[in-house]
């Protein structure tokens, strides 16, 4: 058989040999893990010069949801907390410039000092400014202004 390269060639080569492609095996394993949660195993990254920078990259790219949830969890007077703005848009797949900050919408009547401290802690962990907007539950239910409609 003639050697072929690239994605199409790899598909043809695996199909001709009757073996599943590596991508198919990976997807099958992922599906099995989803169906059997006990099959999921957490591991710690090996020590490497890349471990720190990769961890930082992942945290800065995907961490705001988790960090905001952790830092705001103990606050009283919160009905809901939402991420919005450019980071949320990039997370949802909207193409644009990378976000420089994290915008958080808080629904409720939290203590503003406690909320500010939580935002500062989250910002320090994420190495980004965390901007908090507070609105009442009534504002959220009415939804008459353009900000809420978006």
SS3 18: coil
Q: Answer whether 36's CB lies under 8 Å from 91's CB.
A: no
- Read off the CATH number of the domain in which 108 is found: 3.30.300
Same domain, 26 and 85: no
Give the pairing of strands 101-108 and 129-135: parallel
What mean pLDDT is reported for the chain? Answer: 75
Per-residue pLDDT reduced to its tens digit, 45-91: 677 888 878 877 776 666 898 899 999 998 999 999 999 999 888 87
Domain identity same for 59 and 129: yes
Residue numbers of the domain that contains 33: 6-39
Percent of the chain with pLDDT over 70: 64
């Amino acid at each position: 058989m003639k050697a072929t390269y690239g994605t199409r060639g790899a598909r043809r080569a695996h199909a001709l040999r009757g073996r599943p492609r590596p991508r198919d095996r990976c997807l099958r394993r992922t599906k099995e893990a989803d169906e059997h949660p006990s099959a999921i195993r957490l591991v710690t990254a090996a020590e490497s010069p890349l471990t720190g920078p990769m961890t930082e990259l992942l945290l800065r790219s995907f961490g705001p949801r988790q960090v905001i949830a952790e830092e705001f969890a103990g606050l009283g007077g919160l009905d809901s907390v939402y991420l919005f703005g450019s980071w949320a848009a990039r997370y949802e797949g909207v193409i644009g410039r990378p976000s420089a900050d994290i915008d958080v919408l808080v629904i409720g009547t939290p203590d503003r000092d406690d909320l500010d401290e939580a935002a500062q802690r989250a910002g320090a962990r994420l190495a980004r400014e965390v901007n908090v907007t507070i609105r009442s539950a009534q504002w959220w239910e009415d939804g008459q202004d353009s900000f809420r409609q978006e």
